[in-house]
Amino acid sequence: MNVDDVVREVLREQAAELTPPAPGFADRVLAVRRRRRVRGLATAAAAVAAVIAVSVGVPGLDSGGEGVRPAGGVEQDRITGRTDQSPPRELLAAGEVAMAAYYTTEKVRRSADRMVSERTYWLLDPRTKKYEKDDRWSFVAVAPGLKTAAVLERELPADRVGLLDLASGEVERWIPVDHEAGGLAFSPDGRKLVATTYGEDPGLLLRVEDPGGPVGWEPREISSRNGFQVIDVASGAGSWTEVATGDEPFGPAGFVNARQDFAFSADGRFVWAGRVSDTVELDYFDLAGDAVAPPTREAHRTWHVEAGLSPDGRRLAGDFAGKGMKTSSWILDPLTGEQVAEVHGQQLLAWADNDSLVAWDIAADGNEFHQRLVLVTVGSGKVVPLSGFRSPEDDAKGRWEPVFVRR
């Protein structure tokens, strides 16, 4: 017997064991569709969001869970939550991090067969502590300290990086880049920037015809990413490193997404980016552009989990650990990759201190896209809501993405 015979047999056997969907499946689908549409329209009603935020209980992971303590618009234990706001209008912060900005994404038609997924940013004004819309930029990275941001202008990829004074709203200096950039990230000390360079707009979507169906829009299978440039912020000096992407979208080396940006390692000595692959998921380079092995404490990093290493380097934020209606994430030992704890939260975004993280978590309806920001703590079932719920509708105005930065 050959291996494909067994595959065939097992797939058929599995299929034959399945019972049909419960009666009324079509009505369930139509009901969910209606609910999603209504929710998409209703999320602007902050009052509704506030009521949900307070009334929904998130069960503790263990029987000793401490339930919910909503954080109001007042600073308590260095936590400033906005449970009645989605997206937040005023400063949202927890421990060492603050939401420096947020953005929404919109698909804009450029021609018959091209569309671009564009971001619009709202930036925290350090004087008023409010988020103000600034639609001049297609990409924004905020430096630690929340005073300066690096920005890219509207048409991506861009040939210069602006240093924006967040208090005045003025660009203080322009830094030209050798290769056009589509993404930016600051080093942990704010003295360097890494610009990810692309051959075309990483938000580009192309028209794809579905057989028997309407038109779909998908990113190019092979990313146009071509490298990165490390920039010294003070002098503007930089050097570019070419990083090739494979020419086979699902080849043995894996692939990179249309937008797959570089960022600095926790100690600022390396830059890295993720890769979708069965084997190697992380590519690290030193600042001279030579490929290196990942630093010891980051070798087990999950690239799509933004939180990364805890400030003291003793914990690593890991992947989704939940199942069914339970949403939780792993905390890993950075040295071994071993799962050492499980915390609430569907997606870990930033470490507020050595024990707590800001995360997305879902509403009690179980819809994986209907989420709010919460603060979770390792070794505790406590969940502190920080924001109102965002809309589950893809591309909806209510679907904002936060940018967290050390304050």
Residues that bind another protein (CB under 8 A): 1-15, 18, 20-21, 25-30, 32-33, 36, 208-214, 216, 218-219, 221, 248-252, 257-258, 276, 278, 302, 304, 319-320, 322-324
The Cα-based distances of 17 to 5, 11, 26, 149, 215 in angstroms read 19, 10, 22, 56, 35
Distance CA 328, CA 67 (A): 14
| Tokens matching residue 73 | 């618009």
Cα gap 364→141, rounded to integer Å: 33
CA distance to 106, 161, 195, per residue, from 151 (Å): 18, 6, 10
Phi-psi region of 151 (alpha: psi -120 to 50; beta: other; left: phi over 0): beta
The C-alpha atoms of residue 137 and residue 276 are separated, in whole angstroms, by 28
In this structure, are residues 161 and 152 in contact, taking their beta carbons and an 8 Å threshold? Answer: yes
Of 30 and 108, nearer to another protein (C-beta) is: 30
Output 29 or 167, the one with its CB closest to another protein: 29
Which of residues 24 and 67 has its CB atom nearest to another protein in the complex?
A: 24
By the 10 Å C-beta count (0-12 exposed, 13-18 middle, 19+ buried), 231 is classed as buried
Our CB check for another protein shows the closer of 258 and 386 to be: 258
Residue type, 255: F
Q: Which is nearer to another protein, 42 or 208 (CB)?
A: 208
Measured from the CB of residue 362, what is the shortest distance to another protein in angstroms?
A: 13
CB of 312 to another protein, least distance (A): 24
Comparison of 117 and 265: residue with beta carbon closer to another protein: 117
Task: Decide whether 123 or 403 has the Cβ nearer to another protein.
Answer: 403
State the nearest-atom distance from the C-beta of 364 to another protein, in Å: 17
Rounded to an integer, what distance in angstroms lies between the CA atom of residue 161 and that of residue 308? 26
Choice between 5 and 62, CB closer to another protein? 5
CB of 313 to another protein, least distance (A): 22
Using CA atoms, how far apart are residues 270 and 232, in angstroms rounded to an integer? 14
Beta-carbon contacts of 314 under 8 Å, excluding residues fewer than 6 positions away, are 334, 354
Question: CA–CA separation, 224 vs 227, rounded Å?
Answer: 9
How far apart, in whole angstroms, are the C-alpha atoms of residue 151 and residue 160?
9
In the bound complex, what is the minimum distance in angstroms from residue 174's beta carbon to another protein?
33
Q: Kindly state the smallest distance separating residue 109's Cβ from another protein, in Å.
A: 18
Report in angstroms how near the CB of residue 384 gets to another protein at its nearest: 25
Q: Report, in Å, the least distance between residue 240 CB and another protein.
A: 27
